[in-house]
Structures are given as C-alpha cells and as structure tokens.
C-alpha cells in the first residue's frame, strides 16, 4: 500500500487566517481525497483531487473556502481559508492505490481560536 506523509500534524490558528495542509505520497496515484473529521463524528469527504484538473467538491464544500492544488501525481495541498472556530477539525488526505486499498494520512488536527 502507499505511504502518505501529511503535515502539519497539528496547528493552532487565529480566526480569519488560512492554513495549507500538504500530503505527499510515495507512489503515483490518480485520485487523492480530502476528508474532514469533526470531533466525535465520522469522516466527511470534502473533495476529490485529480492531477491536472480542478478538484470535485462535495455538497456543502466550496472551492473558495477549501482550495485544493494537485500539481503532480504524488502531491496535493488543501487550504482552509478565512478560518473560524467551526473549522476546528481533523483534516485527512487519502489515496486509493488499487481497487481494494485506501490509505490515509496521519491527519492534521486544526484548532481555530
């Protein structure tokens, strides 16, 4: 399975600022997925990022708030823009290497104060 390096692992940010989260994969993958996990809840898909095209966002998530870059087949970033305390969550990236296997990054624990 793929190995994902996600950073930062955690951050405390002021409201109104932005944070960019990075995910580096040790192999080339077509799609990368970004999730949000609010406290005590299951994972919610934010968007799917394909290399060379705009990300596809799920209902309730917009590009202006969560811009995503996918410059190549091993790297992606998610930015949480104009943060508010409601954005405090764990953010995770994920890839599917084969039809069977999903691997997740270690997560970014974001606290907005």
Partner 1 sequence: KNQVEQSPQSLIILEGKNCTLQCNYTVSPFSNLRWYKQDTGRGPVSLTIMTFSENTKSNGRYTATLDADTKQSSLHITASQLSDSASYICVVKTDSWGKLQFGAGTQVVVTP
Q: Does residue number 101 form part of the binding site for partner 1 (CB under 8 A)?
A: yes
Residue owning tokens 């095209």: 53
- Single out the residue of 2, 13, 73, 90 in contact with partner 1 (rule: CB under 8 A): 90
Exactly one of 14, 39, 42, 85 binds partner 1 (CB under 8 A); that residue is 42
Query: Of the ranges 11-19, 60-68, 69-77, 104-112, which one interacts with partner 1 (CB under 8 A)?
Result: 104-112
Taking CB under 8 A as the criterion, the residue among 39, 64, 99, 113 binding partner 1 is: 99
Cβ-based nearer residue to partner 1, 16 or 51:
51
Q: Confirm or reject binding of residue 36 to partner 1 (CB under 8 A).
A: no
User: CB count, 10 Å around CB of 46?
Assistant: 24
DSSP symbol at 86: G
Alpha-carbon span 15 to 83, nearest angstrom? 5
**Does residue 90 contact residue 105 with C-beta atoms inside 8 Å?**
no
The reply to whether 17 sits near partner 1 by the rule CB under 8 A is no
Q: What is the dihedral of CA 48, 101, 23, 26, to 10 degrees?
A: -130
């Amino acid at each position: 399975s793929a190995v994902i390096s996600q950073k930062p692992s955690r951050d405390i940010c002021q409201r109104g600022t932005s944070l960019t989260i990075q995910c580096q994969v040790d192999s080339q993958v077509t799609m990368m997925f970004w999730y949000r996990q609010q406290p005590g809840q299951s994972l919610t898909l934010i968007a799917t990022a394909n290399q060379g095209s705009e990300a596809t966002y799920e209902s309730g998530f917009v590009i202006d708030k969560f811009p995503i870059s996918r410059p190549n087949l091993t790297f992606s970033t998610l930015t949480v823009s104009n943060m508010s305390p409601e954005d405090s969550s764990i953010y995770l990236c994920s890839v599917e290497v084969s039809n069977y296997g999903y691997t997740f990054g270690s997560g970014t624990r974001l606290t907005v104060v």
